[in-house]
Amino acid sequence: MEPLTGMGVLALMGAAATIAGASEDLESDVGSQSNPNSQVQLAPQMMYPHRIYNKAISGEPPSNALICAIGGTVATVLMVTGAAAILALIVGSFVAMLVHGTYSVTPYIGRSASQKRFKQPIYLDIIRSHTPVIMGFAFITTFCILVISYLMISALGHPFPLPLLAFIWGIAIGAIGSSTGDVHYGAEREFQNFEFGSGLNAANSGNIVRKAESGIRNGIDNSWFCAKFGGPATGLAFGMVVFLSGWITVVFDPSISDTLGWEAIIAGVVIVLILIAFNRKIEVDARKRYGPYKVDDEEVGA
Amino acid sequence: MIDIVGILADNILTIVLITLGGILISLGVHFVPVGGAPAAMAQATGVGTGTVQLAAGAGLTGLVTAGFMMNVTDNMGLIIASGTIGAMIMISVTMLVGQMMYVYGVGCPPASAKVKYDPITKDRQDLYVSQGTEGHGVPTASYISGIIGGGLGGLGGSMIYYALLSIDNGLPEAKFIGIASIFAVGLFFVNAVIPSYNIGGTIEGFHDPKFKRFPNAVLASFIATFLAAIMGVVAIGGM
C-alpha cells in the first residue's frame, strides 16, 4: 500500500479511537460501572442512600467486548448479504446499543432492590433519564470500534475476522477506560468532600458526595465533571494505543522486507523508552511539587 | 476417523510452543502492577483495574499486531517480536495516562507501600503514601515491571498464535485464521486467570512479596495449557 494512504487510514483510525475512548469512559461515568461503582454500591450500607445510577454489568472490558462483538457479528452478517459497509456498521452498533440498554436497566433495578433494607430507593426517573444517555454513548463507542476494525481489515489487510477484531479492541478499550478515566471518577469526583491531594482514606469508604452543584447529584452530573479530564484522557490513551501500534508497521512496512520489519520493532522500543522517560518526569515533578505527607522520623530523631 | 496419535506425533513442537506461550503469559501477569478497585480510589499502588483485564487488554493488542505481521512475513522472530512490542506499547501508554490521572486529577504523587525505597530509582516511598492508603499511582519500578509483564504476555500470545497456524489441516485460510485466533484468545484468558489466585486483587510488580509465589501459577499454567494444547492441536489438525 502507498505509505501516504496508510498514514491517512491510520489517522482516521486514531481519530475514531480517541472518540471511542472518551465515549467509553463517559458511558461508564453516567451509569457508574467498574471499580468506582464499589463505592456507589457500598454507600447505602454505610447509611448514605443516593440518586446515582448503579450499573455494574461486569468489568468494563468484558462488557465492551460483548457489545463490540455483537456489533461486529451483526455487521458481518449484513455485509455477507450484500449490505453497504457503512449501513452494516450502523445497524450492528444499533443492535449492540439495544443489548447494552437492556443490560444497564436490569442491574440498576436488581442492585437497588437488593439494598431495600438500607432504604435505597429505585428512582424510575433516573432510569428514564440515564438509560438513553448510556445507550447513546454505547452506540458511539461500538460504532467507532467497528470503524477501526473494518478499516484494519479492508484497508490495512488484517487477517482476523471483524467480530474477533472488534472483540479484542473492546477488551482493550475497556481495560484502558477502567485504568485511566475511572480513576478521575472514583478517586476525585466521588470524594470531592475530602481535601484534594491524597488517596481515599479507607476509613472514608462509602461516604460519597450526594449533593450536586445544583440539587441532588446523579450520574449525568458525574459525566459532566469527568468530561473535563477523565473522558478526554481515556480518549487520548486509546487513540495513542491504536495509532502508535499501527504507526510502526505503516511507516516501516514489513511487507517490503524483513529489515524494515525489524526497524519497526526498533521504532516500537524507542517509543516505549520515551514513554518510560515521560513517566519518570511526571513522577519526579509530582514528588517535588506536592512533597511528602509525613515527616521522616529518622531525620527528626537525629 | 481422525488419526489422533498421528496428528499429535506430527505436532509435538507445536504443543511445546503453545505450552511455553501459556507459561510466559502466566509469568507476565505477575509483573503487571494492578490495584483493582482500591487503586481506582487511589487507595493502592498500581493501575486501577483487574489483573485479567489489563493483562488481556495488553496481550490481545499484541496479538493484533502479531496477526498483522504474520500476514506479510513468515519470519517467526519478527512475528513474536511484533506481538511483544504491541503489548508493551499498549501497557506503557495505559500506565502513563493512568499516572497523569493520579498526579493531575487526584493530586497525589506515585508511591509504593510495599517497599521503603524504589528498587530502580532508589527514591524514598513510605513518606509519600497518604494516610489510610496502601500507596497510589505507578512508581518507576512498577512502571518498568508492567512493561516487562505486558511484553511477556504479548510474547506468549503471539507464540501460541504462530504455533497454531503451523498445524496442517484442510481448512480454507480465512476460517483457519479465525479458529486459530479465537483459540489463542481463549488460551490467553486461561493463563491470565490462573495467576489472579496468587495476586488476590493487588500486586505492585516484581518488588511485591506476592511476586515470589509465581512458581505455583506457572506450574498450574503448564498443566492447563499442555492439556488445552493437545485438545487444540487435535481439534484443528483433524479438520
DSSP of A118-133: GT----HHHHHHHHHH
For the ranges A59-63, A147-151, B47-51, which has the lowest average pLDDT?
Answer: B47-51
Residue of A2, A61, A94, A8 whose CA lies nearest to A182: A61
Q: Give dist(CA B227, CA B167) in Å, integer.
A: 17
Question: Is residue A278, in this structure, part of any structural domain at all?
Answer: no
Q: Do A160 and B67 touch (CB under 8 A)?
A: yes
B128 pLDDT higher than 70? yes
Residue A184 near residue B197, CB atoms below 8 Å: no
- Going A17 to A18 to A22 to A23, the CA torsion angle's sign is negative
Question: Is residue A241, in this structure, part of any structural domain at all?
Answer: yes
Q: Which residues of A touch B107 (CB under 8 A)?
A: 196-198, 290
Each residue's pLDDT tens digit, A117-142 = 999 999 999 999 999 999 999 999 99
Instruction: Mark which residues 33-92 of B lie under 8 Å from A by CB.
Output: 36-37, 39-43, 47-50, 53-54, 56-58, 60-61, 63-65, 67-73, 75, 78, 81-82, 85-86, 88-90, 92
Instruction: Take residue B177 and report the three cell numbers written for it.
Output: 485464521
Alpha helix positions (H), A37-84:
37-42, 60-80
DSSP state of B137: S
Question: Is residue A73, in this structure, part of any structural domain at all?
Answer: yes
Helix A230-251 and helix A258-290, axial crossing angle in degrees, nearest 10 = 150
Domains in chain A, number: 1
ipTM: 0.94
Each residue's pLDDT tens digit, A49-88 = 999 999 888 889 999 999 999 999 999 999 999 999 999 9
Q: B43 CB contacts (<8 Å, ≥6 apart)?
A: A199, A200, A202, B35, B132, B133, B134, B136
pLDDT classification of B59: cutoffs 50, 70, 90:
confident
Q: B100 CB contacts (<8 Å, ≥6 apart)?
A: A180, A233, A282
Q: Which range of residues forms the domain containing residue A247?
A: 3-251
pLDDT classification of B3: cutoffs 50, 70, 90:
confident
B143 φ/ψ angles, rounded to the nearest 5 degrees: -65, -50
Nearest to A241 among B82, B90, B178 (CB): B90
Instruction: Mark which residues 147-166 of B lie under 8 Å from A by CB.
Output: 147
* Percentage, residues of chain A above pLDDT 90: 82
Question: Is residue A84, in this structure, part of any structural domain at all?
Answer: yes
Q: Give dist(CA A147, CA A90) in Å, integer.
A: 10
Which chain B residue lies closest to A240 (C-alpha atoms)? Answer: B93
B237 pLDDT higher than 90? no
Question: Is residue A266, in this structure, part of any structural domain at all?
Answer: no
Q: Which residues of B touch A255 (CB under 8 A)?
A: 72-73
pLDDT of residue A301: 55
DSSP B20-55: HHHHHHHHHHHHS-B-HHHHHTT-BSSBSS-HHHHH
Question: Is residue A151, in this structure, part of any structural domain at all?
Answer: yes
Interface test with A, best of B32, B94, B95, B142 (most A CBs within 10 A): B94
Interface test with A, best of B104, B106, B131 (most A CBs within 10 A): B106
Beta bridge mates, B134: B44
Q: Which residues of A touch B178 (CB under 8 A)?
A: 160-161, 164
Rg for chain B, CA atoms, rounded: 19
Q: Give dist(CA A62, CA A50) in Å, integer.
A: 27
Angle CA B226–B229–B233, to nearest 5: 145
A298 pLDDT higher than 80? no
Question: Is residue A262, in this structure, part of any structural domain at all?
Answer: no
- In which element (H, E) is residue B130 found? none
pLDDT of residue A300: 60
pLDDT of residue B146: 95
A250 pLDDT higher than 60? yes
pLDDT of residue B201: 82
Q: Do A245 and B61 touch (CB under 8 A)?
A: yes
Which chain B residue lies closest to A242 (C-alpha atoms)? Answer: B90
Question: Is residue A20, in this structure, part of any structural domain at all?
Answer: yes
Q: Does B26 touch chain A (CB under 8 A)?
A: no
Q: A286 CB contacts (<8 Å, ≥6 apart)?
A: B103, B108, B109, B110, B137
- How distant is the alpha carbon of residue A162 from its chain centre? 21
pLDDT of residue B174: 85
Higher pLDDT, B53 or A184: A184
Look up cell 468506582; give the residue. A36
A147 pLDDT higher than 80? yes
Q: Mean of the pLDDT values across residues B69-75?
A: 87
Each residue's pLDDT tens digit, A282-294 = 999 999 999 999 8
pLDDT of residue B53: 84
